Amino acid sequence: MSEHPDAALVRRGYNAFSKGDMDALAGLMTADVIHHVPGTHPLSGHHKGREAVLELYRRYAEETGGTMRVELHHVLVDGRGHAMSFHTFYADRKDRGMEIGGGLFFTVVGGKITDIDECTADIDEENAFWA
């Protein structure tokens, strides 16, 4: 059984993210992509446009001194342009480490990611880590 194209797209995105390959990531997103980050910390909010989203990812790497990594567990699709991923996020920042479950809800149009809605297993822990 072959993998659905939307699931394959999400897996390529995780692979590029893990390698820090911003060019590959850029090619997977529309110019007007939006990444919604939950919480009340400095990186939370709505990051609108490909460059703003890529800058968010650069900030993640910078803020964690390159210690950030994501382990992808599952990708689910609905066959109508939506995919959900489930992962564990690992990082160190300042004097604190974090290992936390999370997920992303993707909207895919024309084979490109147009919207990413992020969820976390512990919003308070995320807020404290990024504060």
Q: Which amino acid is at 91?
A: A
Structural domains of the chain sorted by starting position, each given as residue range(s) with its CATH number in brackets: 5-130 (3.10.450.50)
Q: Which residue has the tokens 């990611």?
A: 113
For 22-66, the pLDDT digits (tens) are 999 999 999 999 999 999 999 999 999 999 999 999 999 999 999
Which of the four pLDDT bands, split at 50, 70 and 90, describes residue 2?
A: confident
Mean pLDDT of 111-130: 97
In order of 19, 38, 79, 94, the CA distances from 16 in angstroms are 5, 22, 23, 25
Q: Which residue has the tokens 């936390």?
A: 100
